[in-house]
Amino acid sequence: MAGDLSDLYQDLILDHSKNPRNAGPLDGATHQARGNNPLCGDRITVYLTLDGDQIADVKFEARGCAISVASASMMSEMIKGKTVEEATALFEKFHALVTGGTSGEGDGLEELESLAGVRDFPTRIKCATLSWHAMQQALRGAGEEVRTE
Ligand code: ZN
């Protein structure tokens, strides 16, 4: 494999991938969507419970690489309690962070900076953004599988 991926596997990513927060099915979920990244073999299902336009609860089931699981774990922590609008704004900021190289400082995205190293590995960007795309798909209520291709 080209490049040295070791820099990607920082402590924070390892911690989240080994002990993912909010992992598991969610009883009574009002919205859900699956994500599939066939390039890496990552599969994620994101479950949301919406109370009005607020995300009252979020859980996910993930099978995939450390980056995809860690990103899902961080995403679940960040969007819980947020409104749909706020979660969508976070998605857009995160997407810019991992694809465009903008800084997360001052945006409350410092933790997600640990995932920003993927910007140098285009195939890994899909691992990092998979759960976020699935979350957006779930919020739109489409309920269909999102694929990274
Ligand atoms: Zn992956």
User: Which tens digits make up the pLDDT trace of 11-29?
Assistant: 888 999 999 999 999 998 9
142 Cα–ligand 1 center, Å: 23
Whether residue 5 has pLDDT greater than 90: no
**124 CB contacts (<8 Å, ≥6 apart)?**
5, 8, 40, 67, 118
CA distance 51 to 34: 21
Domain ranges of the chain: 2-147
The token pair at 67 is 């980056």
CA distance 89 to 123: 24
Cα–Cα distances (Å) from 72 to 3, 27, 63, 67, 134, in that order, read 24, 18, 11, 8, 10
Whether residue 1 has pLDDT greater than 50: no
The values of phi and psi at residue 82, to 5°, are: -85, 160
Which pLDDT band, with edges at 50, 70 and 90, does 73 fall under?
A: very high
3-class SS shares of the chain: helix, strand, coil, % to 5: 50, 20, 30
8 or 126: which leads in pLDDT: 126
Percent pLDDT > 70 in the chain is: 85
Which pLDDT band, with edges at 50, 70 and 90, does 55 fall under?
A: very high
55 Cα–ligand 1 center, Å: 26
Please identify every residue whose CB atom is under 5 Å from ligand 1, which is an ion: 40, 42, 64-65, 68, 127
67 Cα–ligand 1 center, Å: 6
Among residues 119, 138, 140, the alpha carbon closest in space to that of 128 is found at 119
For the segment(s) 2-147, the CATH number from 3.90.1010.10, 3.40.50.300, 3.30.420.40, 3.40.1280.10 is 3.90.1010.10
User: What is the β-pairing status of strands 31-37 and 146-147?
Assistant: parallel
pTM comes to 0.87
